[in-house]
Amino acid sequence: MKKHQKFVEKANTALTQWFSFQPNLWKEDEYYRTKLASRNFITHADLVICGYLSKSFPIGTTVCEPGCGYGQLSLLLASVGFRCVGVDSAGTRHMGSIFLKERLLPLVGEVDFVEGIFPEVLGGRYFDVSVIGNIVNSGWHKWVSENPISKALNADTILIDTRTFGIIRDTYEQRKVLIGSIEEVGYEGTQLSGDTYVFRKRKGE
């Protein structure tokens, strides 16, 4: 946390400012209201992911974050030199992520925010790494249940919060089914921290 303290503080301040201009959003957005109230906008999981990627991938690695919300993880990763694309279908959050990016300059480097439904909006674009945090309560679960999961996996390395991928999976058995379905389409899963797993594409697949 110490290493990213300046970033974390500026991100908290920027989101607070954003909501101060949008009082109705503040009332409606319980998810981010709760995060800000506990000064937990950048979570422990975000910092673990950033630490892992920094150790494992060179600067300039391309990273996609589907369902990025206000884009805090993409912004954090851009601040350490990754080239990030954050995608979100919620227009207000998308606008908020652009506001945050401007407020966090010059701490953040290369990051683009795209508004739309992943994966269609990226038109098959492939990345070195994809990171998927909480994407509960969305069209995502419907999308994944109606399409082969392989279509949603757009990178050689994918970090997924297995508890909150589309629906809440509170039990290990539920998470194991998800992990199995991703391994079936050519990835090898290993636990990074808590419910976050790293899936690496097996060679030749």
Ligand X SMILES: C[S@@+](CC[C@H](N)C(=O)[O-])C[C@H]1O[C@@H](n2cnc3c(N)ncnc32)[C@H](O)[C@@H]1O
Question: Which residues of this protein are in contact with ligand X, per CB under 6 A?
Answer: 31, 66-69, 87-90, 93, 117-118, 133-140, 143
Pick between residue 129 and residue 202 the one whose CB is nearest to ligand X: 129
Strands (E), the chain: 62-66, 83-88, 111-115, 127-132, 155-161, 187-193, 196-201
* 187: Cβ contacts below 8 Å, ≥ 6 apart: 153, 158, 199, 200, 201, 202, 205
Please, what is the minimum distance in Å from the beta carbon of residue 70 to ligand X?
A: 7
Q: Decide the pairing of beta strands 196-201 and 155-161.
A: antiparallel
d(CA 199, CA 60): 20
Please, what is the minimum distance in Å from the beta carbon of residue 22 to ligand X?
A: 15
Please, what is the minimum distance in Å from the beta carbon of residue 102 to ligand X?
A: 19
Given a contact cutoff of 8 angstroms between Cβ atoms, the answer to whether 61 and 128 are in contact is yes
Pick between residue 32 and residue 187 the one whose CB is nearest to ligand X: 32
- Residue 1: CA count within 13 A, CB half-sphere: 9
Please, what is the minimum distance in Å from the beta carbon of residue 45 to ligand X?
A: 8
Please, what is the minimum distance in Å from the beta carbon of residue 124 to ligand X?
A: 15
Pick between residue 60 and residue 116 the one whose CB is nearest to ligand X: 116
Pick between residue 60 and residue 145 the one whose CB is nearest to ligand X: 145
Pick between residue 107 and residue 136 the one whose CB is nearest to ligand X: 136
